[in-house]
Amino acid sequence: MSTFAPLKNDTFLRALLRQPTDHTPVWLMRQAGRYLPEYRATRERAGSFLGLAKNPDYATEVTLQPLERFPLDAAILFSDILTVPDAMGLGLYFADGEGPKFERPLRTEADVMALRAPDLGSLDYVFNAVTQIRGALDGRVPLIGFSGSPWTLACYMVEGGGSKEFHTIKKMLYNRPDLMHHILAINAAAVADYLNAQIDAGAQAVMIFDSWGGALADGAYQQFSLAYMAQVLAKLKRDKDGVRIPAVVFTKGGGLWLDQIADIGADAVGLDWTVNLGRARALVGQKVALQGNLDPAILFANPDQIRAEVETVLTSYGKPAAGEGHVFNLGHGISQFTPPESVSAMVEAVHSFSRAQRATL
């Protein structure tokens, strides 16, 4: 039995499970982050991004910061997407202003064949953070655990860092699909174990971020990203102490494949802002809930405009019918340059407009 406090606000979990809610729940990808001055202060104290991400006290502190400001309906573990390949020994580091990089990317057949599943013990700092955050939340809202998708992790592992065109990994994919599948199978098992350990530690929902699935061609996406997310989902614990643990998958730029993504066994699918929510809802029916999809750039507009655009998104989805669910979110992580007041206006608008919408016939 769980020793954590009972949930006071389960709106987010109910929406993911396509149960009725009295408003549309809202959270933001990267809601704990650089746009908040209090986050920047904590990071300053931590000395570095990894110093912050690897310390459960700091991770707890920043995870809770946005909840102090905004009435968000979920918290998400503060961590890095690349903890798993780091634990595989690839040597994660952050070059100044350049984003994440690996000291030992997978470039040769020997590199690939030497790849091993990570020692989950070396990721205890993540699981400890999950438990500590869940305790600190004290039942206010649910805690989301997360991982990069097998394909997205592989992009960083092979490219050695971020990429615009993904030529290195695509060259491997097309010339040596056997090596690509070898990496992805290891990643899928590792991601499933990693998410299951987060669930054991206290995560109440999990999300798989397929940030780079949209870089793949039709056909390649299904073989090299979607199939491995399906493997992860098949291995996930979906029940903890008798409570369903919903799983969300999000392929940025994957709107064209929504019907196929909705078929791999997730409870909900994330959508970016290029997708028409009304069309998406009609397409998936009662198969999955949907999460998204405001363009984060709208948070640079004035509050009146933000409210208008929130209403456009909520109207596009419409009032959820029985067996449907919608979680409001951005279509991508919030920009570090976002004024925090914009987030206030957005969250308030989501709550008030969606309550009014549910009151209509």
User: Under the rule (CB under 8 A), what is the footprint of a copy of itself?
Assistant: 165-167, 170-171, 174-175, 214, 216-221, 253, 255-256, 273-277, 294-298, 300-302, 305, 309, 312, 316, 331, 335, 337
Cβ closest to a copy of itself, residue 100 vs residue 246: 100
d(CA 49, CA 39): 11
CB of 274 to a copy of itself, least distance (A): 6
**294 near 338, Cβ under 8 Å?**
no
156 as an active site residue: the answer is yes
134 as an active site residue: the answer is no
Amino acid symbol at 333: G
Is 202 exposed, middle or buried, given 0-12, 13-18 or 19+ CB atoms closer than 10 A?
Answer: buried
Pairing of strands 99-102, 92-95: antiparallel
- Residue of 120, 53, 56 lying closest to 84 (CA atoms): 120
Cβ closest to a copy of itself, residue 108 vs residue 312: 312
Cβ closest to a copy of itself, residue 12 vs residue 212: 212
CB of 239 to a copy of itself, least distance (A): 35
Among 35, 58, 156, 317, the one annotated catalytic: 156
Collapsing DSSP to helix, strand or coil, 328 comes out as strand
CB of 38 to a copy of itself, least distance (A): 23
30 as an active site residue: the answer is yes
Cβ closest to a copy of itself, residue 7 vs residue 81: 81
d(CA 97, CA 19): 43
Among 80, 111, 263, 295, the one annotated catalytic: 80
Which H or E element spans position 181? helix 177-201
43 as an active site residue: the answer is yes
Cβ closest to a copy of itself, residue 1 vs residue 164: 164
Collapsing DSSP to helix, strand or coil, 275 comes out as coil
Cβ closest to a copy of itself, residue 92 vs residue 299: 299
**234 near 195, Cβ under 8 Å?**
no
Among 10, 14, 18, 43, the one annotated catalytic: 43
CB of 283 to a copy of itself, least distance (A): 11
Among 34, 69, 107, 244, the one annotated catalytic: 34
CB of 327 to a copy of itself, least distance (A): 18
Q: Which residue is it, tokens 């805690």?
A: 143
**237 near 245, Cβ under 8 Å?**
yes
272 as an active site residue: the answer is no
**141 near 72, Cβ under 8 Å?**
yes
CB of 319 to a copy of itself, least distance (A): 19
What stretches of the chain adopt beta strand conformation (E)?
75-76, 92-95, 99-102, 143-148, 205-210, 239-240, 243-244, 247-251, 268-270, 289-291, 326-327
Among 18, 30, 134, 281, the one annotated catalytic: 30
Q: Would you name the residues annotated as active-site residues?
A: 30, 34, 43, 80, 156
